[in-house]
Amino acid sequence: MSYFQRFVVKPGSKVRLRKIDPDFIDKHKNEASALEATKRNAERLRELQELLYAEHKQSLLICLQAVDTGGKDGVINHVLSAMNPQGCKVYSFRKPNSVELDHDFMWRVYRDVPAKGEVAIFNRSHYEDVLAARVHELVPGKILDKRYEEINVIEKHLCENNTHILKFFLHIGKGEQLRRFKIRLDDPAKHWKISENDYIEREYWDDYQEAFEIMLSRCSTKRAPWFVIPANQKWFRNLAVSQIMIEYLEGLNMKFPKPAVNIKKIRKQYYKAKKNK
């Protein structure tokens, strides 16, 4: 079974995160056993992104969601860094500012969707408006319930306009999160990442798990699927995300565009220049 099939949330299914093992590493015993596949995936991702950029007909939007320390930055650094930054951009979605609050909740997403040939990566995303908003009751329930369908409609519109969407939920355990908090406390180079709010939000762990389950269940569609990635082991997380992206991009049957110049003529000019150098 491919990683796409194994980790995708089937449309209409109900997700129960407690039934999904965040320590799952498939057939691999450790990071060393997966190293060759990880390197091969990085090279293939670079090739596929170049093809997407050159073809200039389609775009790719990647959404990353997780609890604090879940590994969003890690995926960007270790998986998506294989891509050429000329055609790949990263956007972070934090608490809405005053300008964003003066618009509908999806407004800030419209600004950053990828153009043809581009890849856009959302570190957190528009889904914050059905996660934190649900947990902290920031909007009335009736409005919140409508947001899931609004998101589905807008993502459908993007897909119909050749923006492909892959959404990854990086699934870690509560104990693993606490272990990663400790690593940040012990490493001065990571102190800048520490926030008191991380511990405050941790008190809402069960509420967030429920909010994630609702999000995954209601907003995984055939054209904009969610994937639940076991992410306690960072190296397996990276391997799984990269493999799913490769499977998806290869399925687009992209082709390099035909040359805009006369290649035979250019070749003659080359050999002439070489002869007279």
Supply the range of the domain harboring residue 71.
3-275
Residue 275 confidence (pLDDT): 79
Domain of residue 138, CATH code = 3.40.50.300
pLDDT tens-place values along the chain, 277 residues long: 899 999 999 999 999 999 999 999 999 989 998 989 999 999 999 999 999 999 999 999 999 999 999 999 999 999 988 999 999 999 998 888 888 889 988 898 889 999 999 999 999 999 999 999 999 998 888 999 999 999 999 999 999 999 999 999 999 999 999 999 999 999 999 898 888 888 899 999 999 999 999 999 999 999 999 999 999 999 999 999 999 999 999 999 999 998 888 878 878 887 877 777 6
Residue 233 confidence (pLDDT): 97
**Domain count of the fold of the chain:** 1
Residue 141 confidence (pLDDT): 86
Q: What DSSP string runs through the chain?
A: --HHHHHB--TTPPP-GGGS-TT--TT-SSHHHHHHHHHHHHHHHHHHHHHHHHH-S-EEEEEEE-STTSSHHHHHHHTGGGS-GGGEEEEE--S--HHHHTS-TTHHHHTTSPPTT-EEEEES-GGGGGTHHHHTT-S-HHHHHHHHHHHHHHHHHHHHTTEEEEEEEEE--HHHHHHHHHHHHH-GGGGGG--HHHHHHHTTHHHHHHHHHHHHHHH--SSS-EEEEE-SSHHHHHHHHHHHHHHHHHTT---PPPPSS-HHHHHHHHHHHHHT-
